[in-house]
Structure 1
């Protein structure tokens, strides 16, 4: 990557970061392109050159946030740690995602995308479910995950936790105030799943 391309990429990243922070703080509808430009130290024209519109900026930001989350999950699963540690890290990642990215704008935007046929994370959502399923099945074969509970029930249990954390920003605030609460919550979940 030459110097021009590098500066261009840095500028684009600065815009995405500024948009994420402002949308997180104030919500999508209350933030203007001018405010994003100011926070990113770029011109409004640059934002339009990169993203064409505020809506497209939001969509590209959501896609980037989701891809980062997806990559983190893949990295956890492909790591060399025990199945127990991988599942534990998965739960911490759900909370980290919520802490860093889940804001009213993200939750509402993803809900709106779910209603559309072109939902950009559909394949990755299915992939994550397949990954978690194979992790649970592998754990059952190794005798560290309970065989008395179906994988479908376990996936529903995991989804309840994800839904709770993602749709309840107060939960993350409580976990940040009292990290032992999160550790205890994850320990309780692991106790339910593990032998």
Structure 2
């Protein structure tokens, strides 16, 4: 990468970072190119030159976020953690991603952008699900997951947790101790309400 390319990359990254910061606190529909321009300290023309439109910029920010999250997920799953740590990571993953993209914002972006929705669905099917299935199969092979429980059942149970994450997070916040509440949810995932077998 030559000097010009490095400068262009740095400017693009600054614009995307500023957009991400605005998305954390503002409705995407209310964010204007002028807001992003001011926050990134670049001209509006520069933003249009790099991204073409606000919608394309927001899409690229979200795609970048998803790609990074998937890379981090894959790295964690391949880093020698125990099965329990891996499953807990899957269940609690949204706790971390929630800071950057609250789920209401994610849903809004996906509803309003078919191209983005297709991209996310593809990543989920081609990367996240196969890796999760591999982890579950390893758990079955090692005897850590009962033979009585199918891979589909474990996937469904994980999906139940993740589909209710907004409610779980709200309950966790009301409990006064988010970490303890979510750790309890992971414990229940593995051992039910009666404790360890």
TM over 0.5: yes
Moved more, 117-126 or 72-81: 117-126
- Structure-to-structure mapping, 1:3-18, within 5 angstroms: 3-18=3-18
Structure 1 portions without partners, runs of 5+: none
- 1:38-49 alignment runs, 5 A limit: 38-49=38-49
TM-fit CA distance, 1:139 = 0.2
Quote the residue 2:150 is aligned against. Answer: 150
> In the alignment, what sits opposite 1:82?
82
In structure 1, the partner of 2:56 is: 56
Aligned-residue offset at 1:143: 0.5
> What's the TM-score once normalised by structure 2's chain length?
0.85
Q: 1:67 to 1:174 in 2, by over 3 A?
A: farther
Instruction: Identify unmatched segments of 5+ residues in structure 2.
Output: none
TM-score by length of 1: 0.86
CA distance in 2, matches of 1:176, 1:49: 47
Deviation for aligned residue 1:73: 1.4
**1:90 to partner: Cα distance:** 2.2
Greater relative contact order structure (CA < 8 Å, 6+ sep): 1
Q: Do structure 1's residue 132 and structure 2's residue 132 form an aligned pair? A: yes
- Equivalent position of 2:23 in the other structure: 23
RMSD: 2.6
Q: How far apart in 1 are the matches of 2:169 and 2:99?
A: 8
Aligned to 2:191: 191
Give deviations 1:14-47, integer Å, cap 9, x for gaps. 1111111212211100111111111111111111
Residues 172 and 178, structure 2, Cα contact 8 Å, conserved in 1: no
In the TM superposition, residue 155 of structure 1 has moved relative to its aligned partner by 0.8
The ranges of structure 1 where at least 4 consecutive aligned residues each deviate by more than 3 angstroms after the TM superposition are 115-118, 166-177
* Secondary structure, aligned partner of 1:31: coil
